[in-house]
């Protein structure tokens, strides 16, 4: 007789495995189906591996500037790429092993294989039929390899890579062409530039990071260029021939060369093969409501496959919302206006809520409080001067509308504003919460004081 479940989760990425653990914790008989390693792109081929590379790049950069801190380092500072890659592999192995242990500990049945979703009540894996009351689709997305002449051929030869292949590259590239100036593109640009590669970003739009606040984009672009990264905007790739790439800029065709060509032009939802379910789609994305329900009763879709936000923390939260809705254990719904996003460059970028342009477009009566990083004592002690915080509040109650931080460790600062926005806090509450000195968090305090009246330290 077929095994019976309350919830079957198809896909073991950050959304899927969190949903499965949460469901089991709430007493549901749960199964998770995953054809590769648990942890999905995020743990195996994305967020975590790139951060290990960025940490190695940061250590290398710090060592090269040791004299600035009164520390003498003798001899030439070098790096061993194979050791950087094996450190990454070690971190990934530890984390995926940890996730597998958590699933087992919480009593989730894990099936290793491709999950074929027959209906809201049946999933077939490795020829075995599993019965269920609900299905959560968490199949993620895959990097797009665009149909540009020559790209597919160069991809087969290993010259064109997506982020997945780039993270496993054994031979360090002396030069790299990055097609796409989004988050993935700029993070890899930071890594390879730090180790001395010649890096060129080719972006079709008029600037990199199109979803970020304009002031942050301008400052960050300046920094990348100052660091020696070439940024070509308004440039369209026309063809690739092995290591040669031809782009068109202002009507002119230009050909350049690189050891590797990274395609970082976005991702497409892994929804192929689900056509028979009658799901309402937006291109490849599965349409969902604020509880992650699809139009088919008993089927939910979380994470990259619904195409709302390609972020691991969004997938995780969606997983919890979906499970609580299925089990009638809570009434929280997704609020996509309060999603923090992070870019791990040097310095980092973190943002939540609306950009100034969006606040203007929505007709919000707002005010901006902007504080430079140099106003904070801890930043100067750490030898960091580049950056600022930009806090946008509504004029009536001084409630937080949006926050944009461009600074080292910006990604650690943004959570204070996540809590503030979730609890509808105003600049008054943030200013009245005592922030320890000397810490980088005083940047947030100064911004709140600036929104009320004036910042103290500028």
On whether both 123 and 157 belong to a single domain, the answer is no
Whether residue 46 lies inside any domain: the answer is yes
pLDDT reading at 408 higher than 90: yes
373: CATH: 3.30.390.30
| CB of 199 closer than 8 Å to CB of 193 | yes
Whether residue 406 lies inside any domain: the answer is yes
Whether residue 41 lies inside any domain: the answer is yes
Q: Which among 243, 276, 317, 437 is annotated as catalytic?
A: 437
On whether both 21 and 134 belong to a single domain, the answer is yes
On whether both 304 and 393 belong to a single domain, the answer is no
Whether residue 365 lies inside any domain: the answer is yes
Phi-psi domain of 27 (left: phi exceeds 0; alpha: psi -120 through 50; beta: other): left
pLDDT digits (tens, 9 = 90+) for 230-280: 999 999 999 999 999 999 999 999 999 999 999 999 999 999 999 999 999
pLDDT reading at 62 higher than 90: yes
- CA-to-CA dists, residue 352 to 190, 208, 379, 397, angstroms: 23, 18, 22, 19
On whether both 170 and 228 belong to a single domain, the answer is yes
| CB of 50 closer than 8 Å to CB of 344 | yes
What was the pLDDT predicted at 221? Answer: 97
Domains contained in the chain, number: 3
Q: How confident is the model at residue 225 (pLDDT cuts 50, 70, 90)?
A: very high
On whether both 313 and 379 belong to a single domain, the answer is no
The string over 62-89, giving b where at least 16 C-beta atoms fall within 10 Å of a residue's C-beta and e elsewhere, is eeeeeeeeeeeeeeeeebeeeebbeebe
- CA-to-CA dists, residue 314 to 15, 16, 27, 84, 159, angstroms: 8, 12, 23, 29, 32
384 bridge partner residues: none
Whether residue 333 lies inside any domain: the answer is no
Whole-angstrom Cα distance, residue 232 to residue 201?
6
| CB of 287 closer than 8 Å to CB of 279 | yes
pLDDT reading at 97 higher than 90: yes
Among 265, 294, 315, the domain-final residue is 265
| CB of 347 closer than 8 Å to CB of 223 | yes
pLDDT digits (tens, 9 = 90+) for 188-200: 999 999 999 999 9
Judged by DSSP in three states, 267 sits in strand
Task: Mark the binding-site residues, compressed into ranges.
Answer: 51, 115, 180-187, 203, 266, 304, 310-313
What was the pLDDT predicted at 329? Answer: 93
Q: How confident is the model at residue 438 (pLDDT cuts 50, 70, 90)?
A: very high
Q: Which of 405, 310, 419 is nearest to 47 (CA)?
A: 310
| CB of 50 closer than 8 Å to CB of 78 | no
Give the tokens for residue 201: 């970003």
On whether both 173 and 102 belong to a single domain, the answer is no
| CB of 141 closer than 8 Å to CB of 311 | no
Judged by DSSP in three states, 151 sits in helix
Whole-angstrom Cα distance, residue 238 to residue 317?
39
What was the pLDDT predicted at 331? Answer: 81
Task: Return the HEC string of 28-56.
Answer: CCEEEEECCCCCHHHHHHCHHHHHHHHHH
What was the pLDDT predicted at 292? Answer: 98
What was the pLDDT predicted at 330? Answer: 81
pLDDT reading at 38 higher than 90: yes
pLDDT reading at 73 higher than 90: no
For residue 373, give the DSSP letter: G
For residue 289, give the DSSP letter: -
Among 265, 285, 303, the domain-final residue is 265
Whether residue 56 lies inside any domain: the answer is yes
170: CATH: 3.50.50.60
Our CA angle for 30, 123, 109, nearest 5°, is 30
What was the pLDDT predicted at 31? Answer: 98
On whether both 27 and 123 belong to a single domain, the answer is yes
Question: Could you list the residue range(s) of the whole structural domain that residue 420 is in?
Answer: 347-452
Burial of residue 169, with CB atoms counted within 10 A of its CB: 0-12 exposed, 13-18 middle, 19 or more buried: middle
On whether both 115 and 43 belong to a single domain, the answer is yes
Task: Mark the binding-site residues for FAD, compressed into ranges.
Answer: 51, 115, 304, 310-313
pLDDT digits (tens, 9 = 90+) for 168-182: 999 999 999 999 999
Query: What mean pLDDT, rounded, does the chain reach?
Result: 97
On whether both 169 and 20 belong to a single domain, the answer is no
Whether residue 138 lies inside any domain: the answer is yes
On whether both 291 and 400 belong to a single domain, the answer is no
On whether both 259 and 276 belong to a single domain, the answer is no
- Check if 437 is active-site: yes
On whether both 312 and 351 belong to a single domain, the answer is no
Whether residue 337 lies inside any domain: the answer is no
Whole-angstrom Cα distance, residue 74 to residue 100?
44
**What average pLDDT score do residues 324-329 get?**
96
């Amino acid at each position: 007789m077929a095994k019976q479940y309350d919830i079957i989760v198809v896909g073991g990425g950050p959304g899927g495995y969190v949903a499965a653990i949460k469901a089991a914790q709430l007493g549901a008989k749960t199964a998770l189906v995953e054809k590769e390693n648990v942890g999905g792109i995020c743990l195996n081929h994305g967020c975590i591996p790139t951060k290990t590379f960025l940490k190695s790049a940061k250590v290398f950069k710090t060592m090269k500037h040791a004299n600035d801190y009164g520390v003498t380092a003798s001899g030439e500072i070098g790096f061993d790429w194979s050791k950087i890659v094996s450190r990454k592999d070690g971190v990934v192995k530890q984390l995926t092993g940890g996730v597998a242990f958590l699933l087992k500990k919480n009593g989730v049945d894990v099936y290793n294989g491709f999950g074929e979703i027959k209906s809201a009540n049946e999933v077939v894996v490795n020829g075995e039929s599993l019965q269920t009351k609900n299905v959560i689709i968490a199949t993620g997305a895959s990097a797009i390899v665009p149909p540009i002449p020559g790209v597919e051929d160069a991809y087969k030869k290993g010259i064109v890579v997506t982020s997945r292949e780039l993270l496993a590259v054994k031979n360090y590239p002396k030069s790299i062409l990055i097609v796409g100036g989004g988050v993935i593109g700029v993070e890899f640009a930071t890594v390879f530039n730090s180790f001395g590669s010649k890096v060129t970003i080719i972006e079709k739009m008029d600037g990199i990071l199109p979803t970020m606040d304009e002031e942050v984009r301008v400052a960050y672009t300046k920094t990348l260029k100052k660091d020696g990264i070439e940024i070509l905007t308004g440039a369209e790739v026309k063809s690739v021939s092995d290591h040669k790439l031809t782009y068109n800029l202002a009507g002119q065709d230009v050909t350049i060369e690189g050891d590797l060509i990274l395609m970082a032009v976005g991702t497409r939802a892994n929804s192929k093969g689900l056509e028979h379910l009658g799901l309402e789609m937006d291109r490849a994305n599965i349409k969902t409501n604020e509880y992650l329900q699809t139009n088919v009763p008993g089927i939910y879709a979380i994470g990259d496959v619904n195409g709302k936000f390609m972020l691991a923390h969004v997938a995780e939260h969606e997983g919890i919302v979906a499970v609580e809705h299925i089990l009638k254990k809570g009434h929280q719904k997704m609020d996509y206006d309060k999603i923090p996003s992070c870019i791990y460059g040097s310095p980092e970028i973190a943002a939540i809520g609306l950009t100034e342009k969006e606040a203007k477009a929505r007709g919000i009566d707002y005010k901006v409080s902007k504080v430079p990083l140099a106003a904070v004592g801890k930043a100067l002690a750490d030898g960091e001067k580049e950056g600022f915080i930009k806090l946008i509040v509504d004029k009536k109650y001084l409630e937080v509308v949006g926050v944009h931080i461009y600074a080292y460790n910006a990604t650690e600062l943004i959570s204070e504003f996540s809590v503030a926005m979730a609890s509808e806090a105003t600049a008054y509450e943030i200013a009245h919460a005592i922030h320890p000195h000397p810490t980088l968090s005083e940047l947030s305090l100064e911004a709140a004081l600036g929104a009320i009246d004036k910042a103290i330290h500028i």
